[in-house]
Structure 1
């Protein structure tokens, strides 16, 4: 029987724990109060201006309810604004506020720097290979795990 330390599911869970811990620790040390999912939402909104909440959920690979709670929190912090879509009155268009864009600009270098720390122990070639393989697996998974 395969050792737990060699099972992909267990290793992925451990890497997620490490990633979340490093992100949270480094972001707090830099003086910010933002979770990894909140950062992902801000980053996605920056790159995809004027999307609705359903599309944001797809972009960050979270279910709609979780994304709604994330957007609520970002709105409370003054980082995101919601407005009624001109095309579909039932939909809410999301935009970064000036404060949200400024925070993202200040936080992006911190997040970029911590990426290597998440995969501590890998050399440059191994790091690039890990990213390529993880992206391949994530793409092959398609929409799995988003609901």
Structure 2
């Protein structure tokens, strides 16, 4: 079987695209669930706890007006809060609410199950090989960006 590099990469990105939409798949009929870009913000805040809106825009490489719109939608859903900074009242600090943290926990749980399901057809040896190959590609790509 002769497989082209393009076919391999297309298949890789098809699998990656399936993974991107895992959190926003609505299995409970809840139309208030965030969309993928909003999950990116929630997952980021899970790690940072509290961060200025400007620093968040820079870190996520999102234009400040676009981030502001995303955060407004997440505020409407009760997942984030923005409060003026104690150090600089002109700056807004962003953090998860209790509901936001609960949404992140539910999404992480769902994500873990879907990831297990995605790899269920692989043996442990195949998983180790797959991991090693992805790691090799990742390391090669990272070195290529340095040059």
What is the TM-score when the length of structure 1 is the normalising length? 0.67
Q: Which has the higher contact order (CA 8 A, sep 6+)?
A: 1
Equivalent residue for 2:128? 125
Distance in 2, matches of 1:90 and 1:139, equals 40
Distance in 2, matches of 1:139 and 1:49, equals 31
Equivalent residue for 1:43? 43
Q: Secondary structure at the match of 1:70?
A: helix
| RMSD value, Cα | 3.3
Distance in 1, matches of 2:60 and 2:118, equals 19
Contact persistence 1:44–1:59 (CA under 8 A): no
Distance in 2, matches of 1:30 and 1:130, equals 36
Aligned CA distance change for structure 1 residues 3 and 96 (closer, same or farther; 3 Å): closer
Distance in 2, matches of 1:62 and 1:116, equals 31
Is 2:77 aligned against 1:77?
A: yes
Distance in 2, matches of 1:126 and 1:11, equals 17
Cα distance per residue 1:91-110 (max 9 Å; x no partner): 21001112112222222211
| Residue ranges of structure 2 left out of the alignment (5+ in a row) | none
How many equivalent residue pairs? 137
